[in-house]
Amino acid sequence: MEGAALIMLRYSSPVQQCSTALGRSLFEWYCGFEDLFCVLAAYESRLPPEWRDQDFRIRALIAEVEYKLLPQGEPEKRIPRMLDDVWGHMYAIGPQLRKVVAGGMELKTLEKGRVRQRARELDALAREVDSRMTGFMKSPLVEEVLTTVPFQQEYYFNLHEQCCPYFPLEPILFRFPPAGVFLIAALCLQAYLRLILHPSILAELDPTRGDTVAPMEGKSAEEMALIICRTFAGLESTLVAEFPEIIIPCQASMMIAGMACPPYLRLWVFCKLLHLDRVGQPLSDVVRRNLAQQWNMPELETLYTHQVIPRSRLERRAAAAEITELAEVLDKVELAEEGESSSGDDMEDKNLTEQRGIFLMGKDPERGSSEPGGVTSEQGGSSISGENIRRPVFSF
């Protein structure tokens, strides 16, 4: 994330970056990662707020022209275009939310006499962010993007009937299914405010001295968690079979939903987090421990994907096909006899040998055994130390 910010700061500008469709898409990708890590892990933003302000301004100018050309009676053409702007508008709220996060961390370092005054300021700012987010979610633009379709049980396809608990609620389905990812992300921000940030601020206020300690207006964190779960269930039934990676941006949101959802949905949420392990988003030990403590279910700390979610028949068939294809390719490889290699081949071998250390984390490739605490690779028998593998850690 920091590297991407440095590249944009050095070689681009807010207006230049956001003046093309490709530039806006790359900036949107960056904003998504920055919000995830800066909000959940309390990091400072790497780009000035001007970047998001310019993105918002340019999107508004372009939309004023392009929306008039979108056909009114064809939502399949209108909604994808509008969804692109809806993400940009939501990211424009991110800097305000990060001010609340940074302020909450600041409360731990202030002198006792200044904590209460600063907490009142943060309380007002948190309510302003939530009010702005609520107003945005009720705007005509967002309401059109989040157009739903009726749920029909006879057409509902549950991909995880054999591996996950029964989902007792009605999934939410959208006319344009990827809009569900946006709704999950937006509700995650508001639920995070209600569940974690705002209560920590209210704890520093004194109601006996006239401070307001009322919760935020609107839906509670539990109500938002229910909507997140229903939307995720709808995504599973409409998109996950064809595009399993669509649920990757939902990992942090499902963590928040797990901390706010009612008890009867907890195991279902945990299974969904385990499923994310299959698409490269492993559940960190910190999150696992927090959920186990929050739910009073210590057995979750030692429960892993392979223990409760066996590979489906489709996954086994796909893995077998990949192995067969790889075997066919290897059968066609012809190795030159000793002494027949050309100088170009020697140079290629030399380059490969020099680069090999990068992938082996500095280990001797000829040893073939791992040091204590290391992990042995299934391909080639190389050893990679666990200390060199950096895993994502989310702090709640």
pLDDT per residue, tens digit, the chain (396 aa), is: 678 888 888 888 888 888 888 888 888 888 877 777 766 666 677 788 888 888 888 888 888 888 888 877 777 778 888 888 888 888 888 888 888 888 888 888 888 778 888 888 898 999 999 999 999 999 998 999 999 988 877 666 666 666 778 888 889 999 998 899 999 999 998 999 998 888 888 888 888 877 777 888 889 999 999 999 999 988 888 876 667 777 778 888 888 898 889 999 988 888 888 887 777 777 777 878 888 888 888 887 777 655 555 444 444 455 555 556 656 665 665 555 545 544 444 544 444 333 333 333 333 434 444 333 444 434 444 333 434 333 333 333
Q: Where are the domains of the chain?
A: 70-308, 353-396
Is residue 233 within 8 A of residue 255, CB to CB? The reply is no
Cα-based torsion angle of the residue sequence 229, 235, 238, 240 in order, rounded to the nearest 10 degrees: -120
Burial of 285 (0-12, 13-18, 19+ CB in 10 A): exposed
Distance of CA 318 to the CA centre of its chain: 26
Helix, coil or strand: residue 367: coil
Beta bridge partners of 374: 385
Contacts of 255 (CB under 8 A, 6+ apart): 273, 287, 291, 394, 396
| Pair 91, 59: CB distance under 8 Å | no
Burial of 32 (0-12, 13-18, 19+ CB in 10 A): middle
Name the strand (E) or helix (H) holding 116: helix 112-137
Rounded distance between C-alpha atoms, residue 247 and residue 271, angstroms: 13
Gyration radius from the chain CA atoms: 25
Cα separation, 364 vs 362, whole angstroms: 7
Cβ–Cβ < 8 Å for 305, 277? yes
Euclidean distance between CA atoms 112 and 127, whole angstroms? 24
